[in-house]
Amino acid sequence: MAVIRVGLVGLGEVAQSIHLPVLADQRNRWLIAGVHDVSPSLVALCTSEYPTARAFETAEALIDSPDIDAVFVLSSDDTHSRFVRAAVVANKHILLEKPACLTVREIDELLALTTDYAKTIFVGYMRRYAPAYLAARDELPALADITHVRIFDLISEGRHFLGKSQDILYPRDIYPALLERGARERDTLIREVVGADAPADLVRAYRGLTALSSHHISAMRGLIGEPVRVLAAHRTNGGANTSVTFDYGHFACCYDAVVDDLGLFDAMIEVRSNTKRIRIIYDTPYIRSLPTRLEVTEAGPLGPVTRTFGPLYGDAFSNELEIFHRHITDGTRPLTDLADSRRDLALMAEIIERMKENRR
């Protein structure tokens, strides 16, 4: 099996808690060859814990290095387009954390750049690689028989779980000017979608769509296809909570996202026909190898009968990296590529338009 030399750009929460440990576990597939972050303390921590990792002064130096085969873009969302562009010019394989970008315009520019690109560009929507999700595809009712779909993310942020399970370094040595510049660039990109004079709750709602809801919007599309349109969308709680209704013609898909500080994680996809229900249940991804579950309930002569698949302990992030490696070695195209991510961003922009109409 070919060992791919990986360079990581961005060493924050997800890199420390997920990507670096999974790469180390899959040592027959990957070598952690390089790291870069704008925080010197994060670079020092990761090079001490992963001795094969060379520290690079800049992201561009890492990307251009002949000792790097694949670049993991794990940096802030506003930098994704720039680093993917650099990695394409350097002819690297790319794993790009979601969201791929913050605007459709950025995605379109990258798609134009990568029309004939021979290397793998893989967008990290790990929920689509969870064992329960993969098993659900074989249990779905026929599309024509679906009567309703319900999806929700009723969750607390990762810090509620990581603080009790892992020692994550949140650095304090990033130059304030870099943080300020990143915040300005991120705000400019978001306002390209929501509008220059958009209220703060609409800005927050779009940040929630790209950061959290993008997972389930992608999973929804991968499971039941493309919606006809966004029928309605509403935001509450200062933009922290979002409710969306997707129109699928003969049925509706209702999505709710609620973020609070209760310290619970409750995420689910439910697909119904008149005689069958499938339900995919996710736990927090911040604790590796927590199980996913699939419940299939069908009408029987004595009443409903439920079959339960799981708990399934296969880690979605581990599956994701195994599949990424397979695409690299086989030269095949991933399901979660840039073109696929463009459809997510287009739907998010449509959600924002429905929110604007609803508020008016």
Whether residue 359 has pLDDT greater than 70: no
Q: Give which of 78, 80, 92 is closest to 7, Cα–Cα.
A: 92
pLDDT at 159: 82
Sorted by where each begins, the domain ranges of the chain are: 4-124+320-331, 128-315+342-359
pLDDT bucket at 360, cuts 50 / 70 / 90: low
pLDDT at 46: 97
Residue range 4-124+320-331, CATH number: 3.40.50.720
List CB contacts of 52: < 8 A, sequence separation 6 or more. Answer: 31, 32, 33
pLDDT at 291: 87
- Quick one: CA torsion of 53, 56, 60, 65, rounded to 10 degrees? -60
Give the span between the Cα atoms of 13 and 19, in whole angstroms. 10
| Bond before 311 cis per omega within 30 degrees | yes
pLDDT digits (tens, 9 = 90+) for 174-202: 999 999 999 999 999 999 999 999 999 99
Mean pLDDT in the chain? Answer: 95
Return the percentage of the chain with pLDDT > 90, whole number: 87
pLDDT digits (tens, 9 = 90+) for 128-172: 999 999 999 999 999 999 999 999 999 888 788 887 788 899 999
pLDDT bucket at 287, cuts 50 / 70 / 90: confident
pLDDT bucket at 288, cuts 50 / 70 / 90: confident
Whether residue 329 has pLDDT greater than 60: yes
Whether residue 211 has pLDDT greater than 60: yes
Architecture of the CATH domain 128-315+342-359: 2-Layer Sandwich (3.30)
DSSP for 82-133 reads HHHHHHHHTT-EEEEESSS-SSHHHHHHHHHHTTT--S-EEEE-GGGGSHHH
pLDDT digits (tens, 9 = 90+) for 111-132: 999 999 999 999 999 999 999 9
pLDDT at 230: 98
pLDDT bucket at 286, cuts 50 / 70 / 90: confident
Return the percentage of the chain with pLDDT > 70, whole number: 99
Residue 60's SS3 state is helix
pLDDT at 307: 95
Q: Residue 153 burial by CB count (10 A; 0-12/13-18/19+): exposed, middle or buried? A: buried
Identical fold for domains 4-124+320-331 and 128-315+342-359, yes or no, is no
pLDDT at 263: 85
Whether residue 23 has pLDDT greater than 90: yes
Give the span between the Cα atoms of 348 and 206, in whole angstroms. 8
Phi, psi of 14 (to 5 degrees): -70, -40
Q: Residue 8 burial by CB count (10 A; 0-12/13-18/19+): exposed, middle or buried? A: buried
